[in-house]
Structures are given as structure tokens and as C-alpha cells.
Structure 1
Amino acid sequence: MPIDFDIELLDDSADTWTRESFASFDQQTITDLVHHTFERLHISENTELSIAVVGEAEMERIHLEWMDLPGPTDVMSFPMDELSVGTAENLTVGVLGDIVLCPPVAARQGQQAGHSTIDEMCLLTVHGILHCLGYDHANAEEEAEMFALQRSILEAFLGRPAPVETRY
């Protein structure tokens, strides 16, 4: 599976919180989760996905540029080929898109929700993949569908209850 990771390098001015949140990012766990998610959603292993891991300043810049919203957010998704979930007989293949994760925001959200930073990043990764596949949570019905699927994927991957979603 072609997963491209781009992890922002931290300079010496990064604070302890930021350093610890980036240290919590486990590329192998996220890779395994993406494989699991693709298998569950019948997405070909030849489908391309890019994951960027950035600090708060870069996430705030992206958030402002693309959503016209101030402040850093936890995850942003940029679908490419407008793919959808496949079937066992007809796997989805193409360029899924780009997901941008922000470990410092994920760490705060995980702490507030009572789970680990990596659990939060797993939740955000699946959330980002689902957005790239056209899922949304703009209304109660969409949220129920997306979050139920997200929870199901995470629980099967983690082998335990999924972390609690952050709702804005």
C-alpha cells in the first residue's frame, strides 16, 4: 500500500508538550491501522494515501487557508479522486488523498477525553480516511453513520472500545 508520510521536523524552540506529542506518533501503528481500514472498507492496497504530521503553527496556517477558520485543528482531509467504499468483488483503487494530523492538538483532546495521544491519532486517522471517502458529520444523521463506522473500525483494530470522539 502506497502510504506517504511527511512528518514535520521540530526545531530546538519546540516546547515539551509538542515534543512529547510528536514522540507519541507511532508510524507503524498508523500504517497498520490504514491497512486494517482499507481492508474493512474494501479499498485496494494499491490506493495511495498521504499523511502529514504537523505542529500547531502549520496546522493553523492550513486551517486558515482552506477553511478560513483561525487556530489549529486536529485533522484535515483533502480527498483527491472522490473515491467511495468498495465491495469484496470490486475494490476501490486510486488516489484517496491527503490527511493532515496535528499531534499537539490530538494530545490535548486525548487527555481531555481520558485516552492516550496515539488512541486519539488513530481516531483522527480513521476520521480523515472516512472524510476522504465522502463521509461527513454536518447533521445528526450523517454523524451517526460516520461515527458508528469509525467506532466499528477502531474497535476491531484496537480489540477494545474505541476512544471517545471529540465533537465541536
Structure 2
Amino acid sequence: MTTEINNETEVAIDGAEFAALADHVLTAMHVNPLAELNILFIDPGPMEELHVRWLDLPGPTDVMSFPMDELRPGDEDDPAPAGTLGDIVICPQVAAKQAIAAGHSAVEEMLLLATHGILHLLGYDHAEPEEKKEMFDLQRTLLLTFLASRGA
């Protein structure tokens, strides 16, 4: 997997950790090893601009996903084709506030948001209760197995 990490904030981000998470999630979802993904960390102002422009919703949000080639998960015998998954945009400041409310670290919240964003790029959604359960259960499993593999 090729994952490009860009941090346009003053918040310290361990790009290698987010690249490792992306590799873990995409491998588990049987995405082609040649797939490309971009993860961008931005401040609340630019995030609010994206939120208003694309979703017509006020204020900054935590994460947004912008799919490109509409890749879908594969399976062991038939991995997804190569291509560009798209972009995930995360706002660390919003994530930090959510982390306090959730009782875990800001880094764990951002790893959760990155996992969530990757699943959106792979076609998962949470608009309906059944979809939400499937997506959030998968998101939890992927994040927990990643953290366990890292000794976190």
C-alpha cells in the first residue's frame, strides 16, 4: 500500500503510525497492495470550509472521506483491483475534544477516525441501523487488532 500522510497543523502526528494503520486495515480488507491512499491532517478553519462546501453543514467536523476510484474490499482469492482509494481529512483539534468525551487519547481517536474514513472509502456507510452496526463493529475490530499488534 502507498499511504501518503500530510500534516498541515501544529499538532504532532506520527505519520508512520497512521501509515501502519492504513496498511493493517487495507490488508485485512484484501485491498490490492498497489492501492494508494492519502491522509491529511488540517486545522478547524479549513475543515469547516470543507464541511460547508461538501456537506452544507456548519462548523468543523472530525473526519471527511473523499473517494476516488470507488475501490471495494476484496477477499483472499480475489483482492480488490489497484487504484486510488482517495483522501481522508482529519481535524486533530476536533478529535482531541471527542477523545476527552470518550475517555481515551487524542491519538487513539485519530486512529479510530482514520479507520472510519478508510471504511467509507471502501463503500461502508452508517446511514441505516444495520449499516451502522456492520461498519462500527468492523471499525472496532480493525482498530483493536491494530492496537494489539502494536502492543498498545
Q: Distance in 2 between matches of 1:105 and 1:74?
A: 5
State whether residues 126 and 150 of structure 1, in contact with CA within 8 Å, keep that contact through their aligned partners in structure 2: yes
**1:59 has 2:47 as partner:** yes
2:137 to 136, 143, 148: 148
Deviating 4+ runs (over 2 angstroms): none
State whether residues 26 and 118 of structure 1, in contact with CA within 8 Å, keep that contact through their aligned partners in structure 2: no
State whether residues 80 and 96 of structure 1, in contact with CA within 8 Å, keep that contact through their aligned partners in structure 2: yes
How far is the alpha carbon of 1:89 from its aligned partner? 1.4
| Alignment length (residue pairs) | 148
How far is the alpha carbon of 1:49 from its aligned partner? 0.5
Gaps of 5+ in 1: 11-21, 161-168
The aligned counterpart of 1:99 is 88
**1:117 has 2:99 as partner:** no
> What are the Cα deviations for residues 11-32 of structure 1, in whole angstroms up to 9, with x where unaligned?
xxxxxxxxxxx12x22111111
The aligned counterpart of 1:129 is 118
How far is the alpha carbon of 1:159 from its aligned partner? 1.6
The aligned counterpart of 1:81 is 69
What is the TM-score normalised by the length of structure 2? 0.93
Gaps of 5+ in 2: none
Q: Distance in 2 between matches of 1:30 and 1:5?
A: 8
Aligned sequence identity (%): 49
One-letter amino acid matched to 2:64: M
State whether residues 9 and 41 of structure 2, in contact with CA within 8 Å, keep that contact through their aligned partners in structure 1: no
How far is the alpha carbon of 1:9 from its aligned partner? 4.5
The 3-state SS of whatever aligns with 2:40 is: strand
Q: Distance in 1 between matches of 2:66 and 2:39?
A: 10
One-letter amino acid matched to 2:72: S
How far is the alpha carbon of 1:6 from its aligned partner? 2.1
The aligned counterpart of 1:46 is 34
The aligned counterpart of 1:16 is none
The 3-state SS of whatever aligns with 2:6 is: strand
One-letter amino acid matched to 1:3: T
One-letter amino acid matched to 2:37: L
What is the TM-score normalised by the length of structure 1? 0.85
